[in-house]
Structure 1
């Protein structure tokens, strides 16, 4: 599979198959989330819930495995040989946009996990219709500690089981540690934000708009780096 992803892509650019697949999936998920936002705006609670839940799980599964394990595509640090443009453009435009894109990827991962949890916690059913609960929605540090301890135990078991079967490495350790850090950030976000928006319905609506904006900017920055790397200034890689 890794070799196939390094082959020339299908879009007719200088991109690899992996980069084209990544760009295609980014376009698909962005369109999917815009549709989910439209459903929420039009009161289609059940359709919005299942589309966003399924879309975010699929997005997390695809991009986490793609970027963390395979390290291919637009986000891979291919070195200066991967960019064929002027050095000034590389330093002052490409790298800042790529850095912003990577930061937004981390924020997007955190918000995807958080919004899935918040979606379940803030929902209720009124006459068979899925609605947001217009009530106080808060958690405690004790509950956070219990849940995070359980998640840590599961991640540790996964790391040990995979390590004994296929060997230990710093790369694998970094992936699992990164997962725990993201989960920890999610809980930190919850404790902080619930003080600003204690009302569950209000919190879901505000953070939903914020998350939607993050994904749209992610698509734009990813498309810019793809265009610069594989269309305007292709280097020796691709």
Structure 2
């Protein structure tokens, strides 16, 4: 249910009514049990039929199918369907346009679509040289073509075919929709840095020639450090 505290009808007045004897009490309880198991859901949906998005998911699916809307099954199906149907019924019947189209696509493919009205090159053959109107210059003119690009990782052509009729009914009749698969990728730049760290140690023993060794360590970092240490043994 769309209500935070929605409850099915429970026939509370009947439960609290007076029963003359055990037979009447059993019949009353039997009727209440049958109502709650077989009719309570239908009674609830009947009470909200005028605002169908408040009803059960079964009611929403029926109303959506009657109106010709199409949704793709998924984790967000219930929330998306309720919002979509509410927006569909609340829209201005004479105001078809891109706003509801964008709402519909956002519910189906969150941040995975693009809507672009297309422009045609004046010197070209229509509609073979189309490009987005947003980037058009004086060499192009606006057309009735609208391209919907959908992220290829979020849908298939089969699903697009199911959605095409309803999407076309959302926008003004003079506009023509066509579809494209949108492929996205991320480019990551890696910046490397190195550090050279070395040390030279000279030890002078008390009664021998100096002994010298060198230890060099190379690791990745963004610093260069070199140190030289000389160690003298304690004199007597």
Instruction: Give the TM-score normalised by structure 1.
Output: 0.23
Q: Greater share of helix residues, 1 or 2? A: 1
Q: Greater share of strand residues, 1 or 2? A: 2
Instruction: Give the TM-score normalised by structure 2.
Output: 0.23
Larger radius of gyration: 2
